[in-house]
């Protein structure tokens, strides 16, 4: 104990030092020793009577005293080049991180577009094969809604996607959307059962025309001259393709036109009838809204199918029609899975890009589906028919680009 008190009495002017053995031994460098002599400090004992009371941290290593210790610098000025290099290295690493992040997002978006097109191709091919063999568009539409409902139920049950809390008022607001969604898919299947896939999708290129007409009638949206100019080649191209279509019949043509009308009515209704939510309730996203519409479409379609077509999807009925049960079931299941998958992926893409980009992608998707179906089914296409289809699709692309152009406000 006597030795301990002797040690601390060497620096009585530092009362804030913690009771630990701190001293500068002779391991101090030559430059540090010279600086200590300049300050009249002995290299063996540290005594600083002239400085006010502070909190000190003396280092016993060869490194200089820390800048916040209150002492003057005991070593030459540090090399600032090292800090300059480190400062310039941070932005470079940040830029590299941003570039890699953007590249990852681009690859992810590219894969989503690829799956969107691929699911569409498979849906149209297998759906057409089943409709050609089994003339029951209502039954097949019901099967597609049923498979989608099962997938949605599993997603919600396994917490793969958050299950929403729906009120009665919301269901009442969604019901009109479900009705036109059901009719739109039914009319599409009816058209695919009557005419070729390429011709059905050529007629469905008329969707912008119905969108403009319905928006002007029910929403009061006056189209710009650019939009009207883009509609003209769409109507002309579809008319030219219809005149020269080998598989043309009025049932298939009118069914595809009715599909355009109902699908665009759904878009107008989604703007006209807003789904209101309470403040404590989260709003419905597109995927959740599509899932609820699919479930409601199943319940809407089931009684209509049973009363109109009866039960035509049993093994006994398929066998009595001279068809292979396994092939019909397999192709119907693949078509239903692709039908649900491509719509889910479409909403995922819409959440990542602007509506204009999505519209352009949808136009390209229609071209891909038409070309792939012509190749797969070996559909005869005349030069005039191909020219008319090309004009219509070019008009759709032009429409997707100019529909966002707003007219300049009139100056007084």
Q: What is the pLDDT of residues 175-214, one digit of tens each?
A: 999 999 999 999 999 999 999 999 999 999 998 999 899 8
Percent pLDDT > 90 in the chain is 50
Among 72-76, 242-246, 329-333, name the most confident range. Answer: 329-333
The structure tokens listed for 381 are 């296409």
Q: Taking CA 286 as the corner, what is the angle to CA 285 and CA 292, rounded to the nearest 5 degrees?
A: 90
Ordered by start, the domain boundaries in the chain are 109-405
Which H, E and C letters describe the chain, residue by residue? CHHHHHHHCCCCCCCCCCCCCCCCCCCCCHHHHHHHHHCCCCCCCCCCCCCCCCCCCCCCCCCCCCHHHCCCCCCCCCCCHHHHHHHHHHHHHHHHHHHHHHHHHHHHHHHHHHHHHHHHHHHHHHHHHHHHHCCCHHHHHHHHHHHHHHHHHHHHHCCCCCCCCCCHHHHHHHHHHHHHHHHHHHHHHHHHHHCCHHHHHHHHHHHHHHHHHHHHHHHCCCCCHHHHHHHHHHHHHHHHHHHCCCCCCHHHHHHHHHHHHHHHHHHHHHHHCCCCCCCCCCCCCHHHHHHHHHHHHHHHHHHHHHHHCCCCCCHHHHHHCCCCHHHHHHHHHHHHHHHHHHHHHHHHHHCCCCHHHHHHHHHHHHHHHHHHHHHHHCCCCCHHHHHHHHHHHHHHHHHHHHCCCCCCCCCC
Q: How many residues does the chain have?
A: 412
pLDDT digits (tens, 9 = 90+) for 35-82: 434 444 444 444 444 444 444 444 444 444 444 444 444 445 555 444
User: Quick one: 240 exposed, middle or buried, by C-beta within 10 A (0-12, 13-18, 19+)?
Assistant: buried
The first and second tokens of residue 34, run together, are: 């010279």
Q: Do 142 and 298 contact (CB within 8 A), yes or no?
A: yes
**Angstrom distances, CA of residue 199 to CA of 196, 205, 211, 215, 253:** 5, 10, 20, 26, 9
Q: What is the pTM of this model?
A: 0.72
CB atoms within 10 A of CB 173: 16
For residues 380-385, give the mean pLDDT. Answer: 92
Taking the alpha carbons at both ends of the chain, their separation in whole angstroms is 97
Q: What is the pLDDT of residue 91?
A: 56
- Nearest-angstrom CA–CA distance, 185 and 325: 24
- Contacts (Cβ under 8 Å, ≥6 apart) of 62: 27, 28, 29
Distance of CA 351 to the CA centre of its chain: 4
Look at residue 356 in the predicted model and tell me its pLDDT: 77
- Tokens, residue 198: 């390429």
Residue of 249, 246, 290 whose CA lies nearest to 266: 290
121 neighbors 372 (Cβ within 8 angstroms): yes
Exposure string for 14-33, b = 16+ CB within 10 A, e = fewer: beeeeeeebebeeebeeebe
Least trusted range by pLDDT, from 205-209, 269-273, 287-291:
269-273
Angle between helical axes of 355-377 and 383-402 (0-180°, round to 10) = 170
Q: What percent of the chain has pLDDT over 70?
A: 72
Q: Which two tokens stand for residue 151?
A: 């997938």
Q: What is the pLDDT of residue 284?
A: 77
The two tokens of residue 250 are 């009025």
- In this prediction, residue 8 has a pLDDT band, given cuts at 50, 70 and 90, of very low
Across the chain, mean pLDDT equals: 79
Q: What is the pLDDT of residue 267?
A: 78
Residue 94 token pair:
């940040």
């Amino acid at each position: 104990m006597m030795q301990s008190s002797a040690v601390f009495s060497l620096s009585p002017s530092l009362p804030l030092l913690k009771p630990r053995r701190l001293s500068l031994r002779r391991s101090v460098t030559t430059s540090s020793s010279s600086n200590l002599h300049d300050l009249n400090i002995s290299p063996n004992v540290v005594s600083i009577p002239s400085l006010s009371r502070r909190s000190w941290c003396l280092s016993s290593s060869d490194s200089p005293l820390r800048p916040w210790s209150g002492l003057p610098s005991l070593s030459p000025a540090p090399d600032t080049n090292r800090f300059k290099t480190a400062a310039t290295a941070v932005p470079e690493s940040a830029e590299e991180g941003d570039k890699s992040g953007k590249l990852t997002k681009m690859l992810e978006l590219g894969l989503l577009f690829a799956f969107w097109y691929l699911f569409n191709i498979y849906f149209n091919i297998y759906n057409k094969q089943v409709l050609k063999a089994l003339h029951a568009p209502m039954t097949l539409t019901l099967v597609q809604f049923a498979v989608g409902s099962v997938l949605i139920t599993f997603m919600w049950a396994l917490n793969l996607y958050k299950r929403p809390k729906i009120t009665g008022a919301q269901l009442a607001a969604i019901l009109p959307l479900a009705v036109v969604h059901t009719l739109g898919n039914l009319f599409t299947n009816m058209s695919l059962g009557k005419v070729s896939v390429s011709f059905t999708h050529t007629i469905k290129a008329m969707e912008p025309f119905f969108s403009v007409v319905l928006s002007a009638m029910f929403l009061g949206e006056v189209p710009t001259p650019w939009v009207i100019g883009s509609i003209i080649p769409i109507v002309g191209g579809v008319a030219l393709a219809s005149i020269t279509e080998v598989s043309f019949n009025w049932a298939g043509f009118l069914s595809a036109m009715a599909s355009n009308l109902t699908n665009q009515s759904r878009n107008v209704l989604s703007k006209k009838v807003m789904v209101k939510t309470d403040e404590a309730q989260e709003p419905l996203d597109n995927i959740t809204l599509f899932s609820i519409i699919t479930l409601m479409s199943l319940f809407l379609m089931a009684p209509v199918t049973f009363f109109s077509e009866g039960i035509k999807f049993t093994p006994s009925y398929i066998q009595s029609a001279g068809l292979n049960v396994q092939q019909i079931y397999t192709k119907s299941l693949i078509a239903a899975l692709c039908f649900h998958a491509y719509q889910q992926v479409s909403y995922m893409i819409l959440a990542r890009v602007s509506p204009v980009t999505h519209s352009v992608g949808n136009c390209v998707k229609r071209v891909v589906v038409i070309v792939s179906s012509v190749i797969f089914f070996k559909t005869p296409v005349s030069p005039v028919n191909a020219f008319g289809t090309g004009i219509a699709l070019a008009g759709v692309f032009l429409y997707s680009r100019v529909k966002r152009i707003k007219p300049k406000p009139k100056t007084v």
